[in-house]
A = this chain, B = another copy of it.
Amino acid sequence: VSEGPGTVCIVGLGLMGGSLALALRMAERAPDLIVAVSRRADVLEAARSAGAIDLATRNLRAGVADADVIVLATPVRTILRLLPEVGRSARSRALVMDLGSSKTQICEAMESLPAGLQPVGGHPMCGKEMAGFAAADGALFRERAFALCPLARTAPEALDAATALARSVGARPLVVDPVLHDRAVAGISHLPYVAAAALVNCVTSSGDPLAWSLASSGFRDTSRLAASDVDMMLDILLTNREAVVDWLERYAGQLDVLRSALGSGDEAGLRELLVAAQRGRAGLST
């Protein structure tokens, strides 16, 4: 019989932290106690009313002090800022995780945690365009990949505990190197966000009112990510800058190839590119 995760402290009760609290609460292998830290008293109160958490505090030090597992669920640069204080306040052997979308800088910062602590970077591959606890959903992690980045110093048992936590909320844990993770998500998550933002800005700046009134499900889906929380995305982009710029350059190249084929009326070439895209997309569903 496997032990539960004991006391879990979640720092940040937005979409991700709030969803984690709800998911852990419903888990078969639920924590004994869920403690939440948030700057916002109203959010803590909402989470307590929803039964998502047991203890609430606006004080980071008080929240993490007794936790067996600490999960930082704030924007990435806030995680980087909070880690030293977590290091000072957490009890020895605590598992320190996060849910940030870029991992290299966070895992680097985790190296500086006191030797007794057990750091594992984390990134569940899921999201919504709505931010905040009001959008939290205990089913958010189900069937989704959950990237885990242990450090060289991380004890095997700590990685096991992180893996068990990911499984307990229905996710598929996937141990990856932080640099490889950041390069991959720059392509399949951060690039699509920037592409969606550019698309919206393109239509807005055209000043064509007819365009908006004819917009339908195709535009809605393609542009959905542009509605993401800007503070969260700004942190992600700025802490994964090189990889995202790299993908943006390759994306511009692919667009250029398509535009050239269309502009010159190269039907065979254009068809080949579109068929390749259709096949590539079909591979995604399998």
Task: Give A contacts to B, CB under 8 Å.
Answer: 125-127, 144-145, 147, 174, 176, 180-181, 183-185, 187-189, 191-206, 208, 210-228, 230, 233-234, 237-238, 241, 244-245, 247-259, 262-263, 265, 267, 270-271, 273-278, 280-284
Q: Which chain B residues border A273 with CB–CB below 8 Å?
A: 197, 201
Q: Which chain B residues border A197 with CB–CB below 8 Å?
A: 258, 273-274, 277-278
Q: Which chain B residues border A211 with CB–CB below 8 Å?
A: 184-185, 187-188
Q: Which chain B residues border A181 with CB–CB below 8 Å?
A: 210, 214
Q: Which chain B residues border A244 with CB–CB below 8 Å?
A: 262
Q: Could you tell me if A222 and B208 are in contact, using CB atoms closer than 8 angstroms?
A: no
What is the CB-to-nearest-CB distance from A45 to chain B, in angstroms, rounded to a whole number?
27
Q: Which chain B residues border A241 with CB–CB below 8 Å?
A: 262-263, 265
Nearest first, the 10 A-B pairs at minimum CB distance are A197-B277, A192-B222, A198-B254, A184-B210, A125-B216, A204-B280, A200-B280, A184-B211, A226-B281, A226-B277
Q: How many copies does the complex hold?
A: 2
A205-B250, A216-B144, A225-B218 are known contacts. Are A199 and B192 too (CB-CB below 8 A)? yes
**Sample of 19 A–B contacts (CB below 8 Å):** A174-B214, A187-B208, A191-B202, A193-B218, A194-B259, A195-B255, A196-B277, A197-B258, A198-B251, A198-B258, A200-B280, A200-B281, A201-B276, A203-B280, A224-B281, A245-B262, A248-B262, A252-B255, A252-B256
What is the CB-to-nearest-CB distance from A196 to chain B, in angstroms, rounded to a whole number?
6
Q: Which chain B residues border A215 with CB–CB below 8 Å?
A: 125, 188, 284
What residue in chain B is nearest A274 (Cβ atoms)?
B230
Beyond the given pairs A192-B218, A234-B271, 14 more chain A to chain B contacts, judged by CB atoms under 8 angstroms and listed by A's residue number, are A125-B214, A174-B213, A174-B214, A181-B210, A185-B211, A198-B255, A204-B276, A204-B277, A206-B247, A212-B283, A212-B284, A228-B278, A241-B263, A248-B258
What is the CB-to-nearest-CB distance from A282 to chain B, in angstroms, rounded to a whole number?
7
What is the CB-to-nearest-CB distance from A59 to chain B, in angstroms, rounded to a whole number?
29
Partner of A206, one of B185, B250, B276: B250
* A interface SS class: helix
What residue in chain B is nearest A176 (Cβ atoms)?
B210
Q: Which chain B residues border A199 with CB–CB below 8 Å?
A: 191-192, 195, 251, 254
- Residue of A181, A188, A191 with most chain B CB atoms under a 10 A cut-off: A188
Q: Which chain B residues border A234 with CB–CB below 8 Å?
A: 267, 270-271, 274
Q: Could you tell me if A237 and B262 are in contact, using CB atoms closer than 8 angstroms?
A: yes
Partner of A224, one of B201, B213, B221, B247: B221
User: How long is the Cα–Cα vector from A215 to B176 in the complex, in angstroms?
Assistant: 14
Partner of A214, one of B188, B200, B237: B188
Q: Which chain B residues border A217 with CB–CB below 8 Å?
A: 126-127
